[in-house]
């Protein structure tokens, strides 16, 4: 008998292999499941103590699974998460857990009814740099936040099941909503599918919030620059989270427009110090997986799944606009 959380994971592909490594560390990976025979063979060698199957229903029915981790393509998240919750298993599901608001609401209802944890894998929320950004915003260090924009560009990985909004934008969206904590009153998106029919490779998004704050995202896997950057423009200071930087993940610019009394209403700009607060070097994926285990073992208030619902709501609004 072990007191480690017993985990069954479905989806052992590109991202699933990272999740399996970490969940086997922070919990006990008792089952792994994938439709691909070569992956099942590979994982039976990597995790000799785990049961290996291609049949999700078999894994979900097993007594030695307390929680199910879902790392399959996005369209499969909702049906698999629903089966797992109906079978009484806690669920960690890669982002986003559903493609439509009513589906996400149904997952939340099932989790509440059965007293289970349902945690979407919004990895960036566990990034120490995002926590630092949130600290700066909440402490009023930047003044009122006016604009937040994300750049998530690269050449590849070219996906066929999810467009750039659903695959890349979901990361920035989760952080933007976490920082701003307001309702979206306007959402617009433009993009184009150049490589695979119906799958936009490049998407530009615009969001406006109740208080007038605005956000923008440039999402693309068809770009010469590898950018993983989020910029927050405050009334008093500006901050940048650049995940491509090794040591300087956050930079705060003491820069802002101001109206000195001797300029009779004219705007001037002020440029002060530029500094980089210390950000712990902890692995976001490990923090995320530990957080899930802690929620299951210590109880929770459902915040993560309700935040996940707001991300799905925003994705739905942007998709409606994208498809015109």
Ligand X SMILES: NC(=O)c1ccc[n+]([C@@H]2O[C@H](COP(=O)([O-])OP(=O)(O)OC[C@H]3O[C@@H](n4cnc5c(N)ncnc54)[C@H](O)[C@@H]3O)[C@@H](O)[C@H]2O)c1
**From residue 123 to residue 162, what is the string marking binding to ligand X with x (rule CB under 6 A)?**
x---------------------------------------
Write down the least CB distance from residue 184 to ligand X, Å. 22
Q: Does 223 bind ligand X (CB under 6 A)?
A: no
Stretch that binds ligand X, among 10-18, 144-152, 175-183, 237-245 (CB under 6 A): 10-18
* Distance in angstroms (rounded) separating the CA atoms of residues 239 and 234: 8
| Binding-site size, ligand X (CB under 6 A) | 22
Query: By C-alpha distance, which of 128, 123, 136 is closest to 282?
Result: 128
Residues 173 and 159 sit within 8 Å (Cβ to Cβ)? no
Residues 126 and 287 sit within 8 Å (Cβ to Cβ)? yes
Of 50, 65, 66, 72, the one binding ligand X by CB under 6 A: 72
Stretch that binds ligand X, among 4-12, 128-136, 199-207, 214-222 (CB under 6 A): 4-12
Of 74, 129, 296, 312, the one binding ligand X by CB under 6 A: 74
Nearer Cβ to ligand X (119/238): 119
Q: Does 311 bind ligand X (CB under 6 A)?
A: no
Q: Is residue 246 exposed (0-12), middle (13-18) or buried (19+ Cβ within 10 Å)?
A: exposed
* Distance in angstroms (rounded) separating the CA atoms of residues 289 and 253: 33
Write down the least CB distance from residue 171 to ligand X, Å. 7
Write down the least CB distance from residue 125 to ligand X, Å. 10
> Does residue 95 have a cis peptide bond before it, meaning omega lies within 30 degrees of 0?
no
Q: Write the CA distances from 102 to 142, 172, 307, integer angstroms.
A: 36, 22, 15
Q: Does 9 bind ligand X (CB under 6 A)?
A: no
Q: Does 73 bind ligand X (CB under 6 A)?
A: yes
* Distance in angstroms (rounded) separating the CA atoms of residues 6 and 26: 10
* Distance in angstroms (rounded) separating the CA atoms of residues 84 and 82: 5
Of 56, 78, 178, 300, the one binding ligand X by CB under 6 A: 56
Nearer Cβ to ligand X (117/136): 117
Stretch that binds ligand X, among 28-36, 177-185, 189-197, 247-255 (CB under 6 A): 28-36
Q: Does 11 bind ligand X (CB under 6 A)?
A: yes
Query: By C-alpha distance, which of 209, 223, 233, 128 is closest to 168?
Result: 223
Q: DSSP alpha helices (H): ranges in the chain?
A: 16-26, 37-46, 56-61, 77-86, 101-114, 128-138, 164, 170-180, 284-298, 303-323
Question: Which 8-state DSSP code applies to residue 168?
Answer: I
The pair of three-digit structure tokens given for residue 243, joined into one six-digit string: 């995940």
Residues 235 and 143 sit within 8 Å (Cβ to Cβ)? yes
Of 5, 12, 32, 175, the one binding ligand X by CB under 6 A: 12
Nearer Cβ to ligand X (22/256): 22
Residues 315 and 170 sit within 8 Å (Cβ to Cβ)? yes
The pair of three-digit structure tokens given for residue 183, joined into one six-digit string: 């309702």
Q: Does 292 bind ligand X (CB under 6 A)?
A: no
Stretch that binds ligand X, among 12-20, 225-233, 250-258, 262-270 (CB under 6 A): 12-20
Q: Does 163 bind ligand X (CB under 6 A)?
A: no
Q: Does 33 bind ligand X (CB under 6 A)?
A: yes
Nearer Cβ to ligand X (72/237): 72
Q: Does 94 bind ligand X (CB under 6 A)?
A: yes
Q: State the residue number with the nearest CB to ligand X.
A: 13
- Contacts with ligand X, residue ranges (CB under 6 A): 10-16, 33-36, 39, 56, 71-74, 76, 94, 121, 123, 167
């Amino acid at each position: 008998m072990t007191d480690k959380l017993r985990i069954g994971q479905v989806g052992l592909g590109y991202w699933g292999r990272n999740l399996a490594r970490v969940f086997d560390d922070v919990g006990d990976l008792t089952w792994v499941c994938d439709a691909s025979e070569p992956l099942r063979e590979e994982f039976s060698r990597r995790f000799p103590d785990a049961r290996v199957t291609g049949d999700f229903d078999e894994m979900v029915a097993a007594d030695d699974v307390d929680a199910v981790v879902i790392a399959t393509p996005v369209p499969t998240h909702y049906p698999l998460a629903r089966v797992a919750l109906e079978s009484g298993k806690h669920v960690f599901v890669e982002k986003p857990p559903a493609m439509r608001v009513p589906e996400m609401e149904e997952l939340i209802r099932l989790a509440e009814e059965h007293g289970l944890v349902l945690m979407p894998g919004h990895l960036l929320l566990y990034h120490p740099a995002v926590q630092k950004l949130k600290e700066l915003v909440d402490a009023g260090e930047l003044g009122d936040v006016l604009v937040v924009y994300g750049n998530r560009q690269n050449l590849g990985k070219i996906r066929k099941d999810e467009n750039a909004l659903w695959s890349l934008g979901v990361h920035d969206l989760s952080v933007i909503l976490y920082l701003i904590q307001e309702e979206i009153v306007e959402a617009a998106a433009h993009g184009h599918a150049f490589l695979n029919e119906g799958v936009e490779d490049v998407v530009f998004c615009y969001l406006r919030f109740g208080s007038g704050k605005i956000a923008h995202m440039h999402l693309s896997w068809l770009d010469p620059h590898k950018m993983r950057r989020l910029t927050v423009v405050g009334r008093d200071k500006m901050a940048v989270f650049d995940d491509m930087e090794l040591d300087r993940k956050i930079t705060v610019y003491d820069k802002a427009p101001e109206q000195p009394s001797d300029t009779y209403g004219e705007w001037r700009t002020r440029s002060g110090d530029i500094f980089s607060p210390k950000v712990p070097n902890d692995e976001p994926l490990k923090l995320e997986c530990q957080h899930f285990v802690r929620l299951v073992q210590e109880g929770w208030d459902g915040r993560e799944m309700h935040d996940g619902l707001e991300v799905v709501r925003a994705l739905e609004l942007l998709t409606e606009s994208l498809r015109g």
